[in-house]
Structure 1
Amino acid sequence: MTMTAGLLIAIVAAPVVAAILSVVIRMNHVGEYVNLAAAVVCLCAILVLALTRNGPQEFLNGYVLVDALGAWTLVCTAVVYFLASIYAIGYMRLLPEEHDRLPQFYALFALFAATMVCGPLMNNIGVYWIAIELTTLVSTFLVGFERGQEAIEAAWKYIIVVSAGISLALLGTVLFYWAGSLVIGPTYDITWDTLRHAAPRMNPALIQMAFLLVLVGYGTKAGLAPMHTWLPDAHSEGPAPVSAMLSGALLNTAMLGVARFLTITDAASSSLLPRTVLVGFGAFSLFVAALFIVRQRGIKRLMAYSSVEHMGVLAMGFGFGGPLAIAAVMYHMLNHSLNKSLMFFGAGNVMRLFGTKDIDEIRGVWTRFPVTGALWLAGAIAITGAPPFGLFLSEFTLMRAGLATPNAWAVYVLLVLLIVIFIGFLNHFRLMYFAAPNAQRHTPPPQGRRSDAVEAGEALPATVSPSMQPSLWMTVPMWLALLPVLVLGLWWPQGLWHFFETVAADLGRSAR
């Protein structure tokens, strides 16, 4: 067995074993720590895999692929899984009514991570679709874990909307296979490379139609507007560590499929239509995000629409194409994963402290918990793309790359909408940090209505003290997320440039 094969086994097996142990032993502390141990193993193994891989490699008769793009997506996933696993220990202990169900939570949490690390490794386009669908099935139970009325509704909306989108992705996958069968034969291995090499001989119109279906399908999973309607509810109602995983890891896994299918479409035709449509979806996502961010009243929904914004940025980058744009997209992917984890952690802390998700009911954050409040505010500045943080550098590089493409118009749209989002997003934080406290507060609801009460903006039950301070479990991951975002904003390591050049080469021909 090669070292790479051993690493792949560790990456997938660690969270699966953690899930099994959580269910079998059924002790809260066991679930917490085996899940955290699995996250550490996953992160270490993926980092070693990314650093030691030597060109694209295939395993299991070609069903598993290790390439630069997949390895980078795995790095982003593992980082979020690690940070969220630390945060979950502190956060979930503050849900006393869910105390008996914590082993189930950690089993589902670890399985969710296992499905997400499988997706970027799939070399067969049909098996990749199955991996993405598995992430939906597992994460649905996490979205509705708290069992409040809104949480259950969000879970149903999530699985219905995403499954409808994934069905379109399946139809597009079938069309890709059919187009390949007309030139290769009725039976062949439907790997990314096989389709890329056969694409110049395929029917361009059929390939473009297949790509548009795939784009809508996986774009639904990635939260691109107007297919994003599940995302604000799911991100808002799931526990904070689950929201971090959904936003910082799952969306990247779905966007990966769009990028891989785009390379097949590029090889089949010289038409700019697929890339222009992808850029258009990205621009529209930014537009929708800007509208809802400015008028938002829910704290976690604010973070959710920020995710729609950043998925739009990734879509525009992939649509621009070229080595510089791909480098910007990869850099943005990591910075967003780190930064959005920080934002959901901070939102979870504030929600616990103030007993509400309503922005209008949150005042004086700076004075209530100055350290974690400062971390959250710094994260808010960073997530809007302001200097000196990593997202500023990636967005600036992306705009430079976009100006040299036929879709340069989108750069000006991007710039205007980023300014609107910057003003709208930080205005909410200005109110939460510096506005005068509201004179009237809601009275505590009776026990058993925690989820409904929180959504309605009411105070939490007496089991959660309004004077509580976030534990180290809830603050350490915020530090671990913010510091890299700051460092990556001040210094773009040369080694990452070389790695991103490899990603661009693996993706095949860039935009014409």
Structure 2
Amino acid sequence: MESRIAILLLAPLLPIVIGLAVRRPRASEYLNLLASLVVLVVALPLPFAIDVPREMLHGYLLLDPLGAWVVLCVAVVYLLSSIYAIGYMRHDEAGDRRLPAFYALHAGFALTMLFAPLVNSIGVYWIAIELTTLVSTFLVGFERSAESMEAAWKYIIVVSAGISLALLGTTLLYWGGSFVLGETYNLTWESLVQVAPKMPPVLLKLGFLLTLIGYGTKVGLAPMHTWLPDAHSEGPAPVSAMLSGALLNTAMLGIVRFLAATDAAGQGALPHTALVVLGVLSLLVGALFIVRQKQIKRLMAYSSIEHMGVLALGFGFGGPLGIAGALYHMLNHSLCKPLLFFGAGNAMHRYGSKRIRDIRGVLAAFPVSGWLWLCGAVAITGAPPFGLFLSEFAILRAGWAGPNLWAVIVMLVLLIVIFVAFLNHFRAMYLESPPLPSVPAEASGNAWRTWPMALALAPLLVLGVWWPSAWTVLYQHIAAALGAMP
């Protein structure tokens, strides 16, 4: 197992070290693709190969099913975005000279997101999340336009401010543990759960709320979401896919682990309520901005806020069913959001505009990827027969059986509003006549920009009609580890 983790973390170094040393665009592309393929091969069986949590590297790394599941989600998005980037990032000769730097940053971003779920120390986890911010800031502003540079600055300032609150919350929790374990001790996730029942309840609750706001900023939960629409809409499409499909899950993991500590102390009522409220608020903000959205990638960005709200509701409702639905939703969202951003990237390249009103007659311009993009749009709204329908239905069932029935009703109403509004934008792009002169159909297409869309859609469809029984066992195991009562 140690060798697998070593391969998982060392593979992204290929495009970083060798790519920057060679400085050849095509070599960097394929090194990054090879690294992403190796990462997925290692990560795919990882959640199912762990019987009990295992500490490695003198206790600094922790391999447990929950962390391995998030690693799997990151690996899926890393591979899809690496394939798509080859077709998307190739520009003129001047642009090609910057590709080794792009792929080094791309692999570095993946490395930080693969590392964070495996961290055992709470303080080092904070450092790992901050590293994801530092690396991805350069990717958000990679195109060097005024809009992308502004988005990068907004991203690093807002998220760093939020993460500072998470550090304060972590400090309070460490202080609370010092009343039991002494002034100096190693605060791991397991030791936090063990010491939480003996902590002063005020410090435990306040520490959790601060970490919820801090990491919730990174997740994009409303009202701390203000960085997300700009960063997702101004970065290159492969970067947007990584931000939405991988990064947000990595930050949500920290909230879930802190929530387990409050549950272990019997102080979970306030934390669960806070998470449910932020989830509903995120759904509301997502719905309002989706209805009136005019820019295609910002439409996808507000959809990310919506789905992080759904995740927050799943973990906030709690119980085995709520946790299972949230974990299933993580993977489905990690598959669907790259599909949508890839389609948006294709449309922006083809039409030369980010505005929805300028994108018309998509199927005439994209006979193949247009259909894939439309299926992704249906899937992201939670409609059957795609995986997001099953995960959202499981979360609704979990809430219906709990004390937060009001949140279930609001969630259901807002999901219907989002379904109508989101598909109304696609109706205009697909069915309304294109502006003159009409955009001709792309004769040959670009396999690098089409195949990753198909690779994302296929499992979404399979997971919509088949919930693997082995995954049910895995989810039950994770729920039990988080302290969820049957």
**Candidates 52, 56, 67, aligned match of 1:55:** 52
- Of 203, 206, 209, the match for 1:206: 203
Q: C-alpha distance in 2, partners of 1:41/1:368? A: 35
1:508 to 477, 483, 486: 483
Residue in 2 that maps onto 1:276: 273
Which position in structure 2 is the counterpart of 1:369? 366
The structure 2 residue matched to 1:432, chosen from 412, 429, 432, is 429
Please tell me whether the aligned partners of residues 58 and 65 of structure 1 are also in contact (alpha carbons under 8 angstroms): yes
Superposition pairs of residues 90-101 of structure 1, within 5 angstroms:
90-94=87-91, 97-101=94-98
Q: CA deviation at 1:47?
A: 1.7
1: CA distance, partners of 2:146 / 2:413: 38
Q: 1:238 to 1:57 in 2, by over 3 A?
A: same
Amino acid at match of 1:202: M
Matched residue, 2:379: 382
RMSD over aligned CA atoms reads 1.5
Give the 5 Å matches for 1:143-182. Answer: 143-182=140-179
Q: Which residue number corresponds to residue 453 of structure 2?
A: 478
Paired AA for residue 508 in structure 1? G
| Distance in 2 between residues matched to 1:325 and 1:481, nearest whole Å | 25
Distance change (3 Å), C-alpha of 1:348 and 1:70: same
Distance (Å, rounded) in 2 between the aligned partners of 1:466 and 1:149: 31
Structure 1: which amino acid aligns with 2:154?
A: K
Aligned length: 486
How many Å apart are 1:424 and its aligned residue?
A: 0.5
Quote the residue 1:241 is aligned against. 238
Q: Which one is further off, 54-63 or 131-140?
A: 54-63
Give distance in 1, aligned partners of 2:172 and 2:96. Answer: 47
Matched, 1:394 2:369: no
Deviation at 1:438, TM superposition (A): 3.1
Q: Does 1:191 align with 2:188?
A: yes
Q: Is the 8 A contact 1:353 1:466 kept in 2?
A: no
Q: Answer whether contact 1:136 1:159 (CA < 8 A) is retained.
A: yes
CA offsets per residue over residues 163-194 of structure 1, 9 Å max, x none? 00000000000011001001111111100110
1:304 corresponds in structure 2 to 301
Structure 1 gap ranges (5+): 442-458, 460-464
Q: Is residue 491 of structure 1 aligned with residue 466 of structure 2?
A: yes
Residues 442-486 of structure 1: per-residue CA shift (max 9 Å, x gap): xxxxxxxxxxxxxxxxx9xxxxx9957541111110010001000
CA distance in 2, matches of 1:496, 1:52: 12
1:120 corresponds to 2:117: yes
Query: Residue 65 of structure 1 aligns to a residue in which SS?
Result: strand
The 2-side partners of 1:17 and 1:133 are apart by 23
Aligned residues of 1:98 and 1:146 also touching (Cα < 8 A): no
Residue of 215, 225, 228 corresponding to 2:225: 228
Alignment-derived partner of residue 31 in structure 2: 34
Match of 1:323 in 2: 320
Mapped contact 1:353–1:469 kept (Cα < 8 A): no
Q: Partner letter of residue 419 of structure 2?
A: F
How far residue 18 of structure 1 moved from its aligned partner, in angstroms, is: 2.2
Q: Which of these residues, 4, 11, 15, is aligned with residue 12 of structure 2?
A: 15
Structure 2 residue 387 is matched with structure 1 residue 404: no
2:151/2:234 contact within 8 Å kept: yes
- Cα distance, 1:49 vs. partner? 2.4
**CA distance in structure 2 between the partners assigned to 1:271 and 1:318 by the alignment:** 12
Say whether residues 1:266 and 2:263 are aligned partners.
yes
Q: Which amino acid aligns with 1:370?
A: P
Which moved further from structure 2: 12-21 or 411-420?
12-21
- Which residue number corresponds to residue 453 of structure 1? none
- Any conservation in 2 of the 1:369–1:469 contact (CA below 8 Å)? no
Give the % identical residues: 62
Normalising by structure 2, what TM-score? Answer: 0.98
CA distance in 2, matches of 1:134, 1:375: 34
Query: SS in structure 2 opposite 1:58?
Result: strand
- Name the CA distance, whole Å, in 2 between partners of 1:205 and 1:196: 16
Q: 1:210-251 CA distances to partner (integer Å, 9 max, x unpaired)?
A: 100000000000010111110010001111000000000000
CA distance in 2, matches of 1:491, 1:94: 41
Distance 2:398 2:175 in 1: 35
Cα distance in 2 for partners of 1:406, 1:305 equals 28
- 1:285 matched to 2:282? The reply is yes
**Cα shift at 1:286:** 0.3
Deviations 1:289-321 (A, max 9, x none): 000000001100000000000000000111111
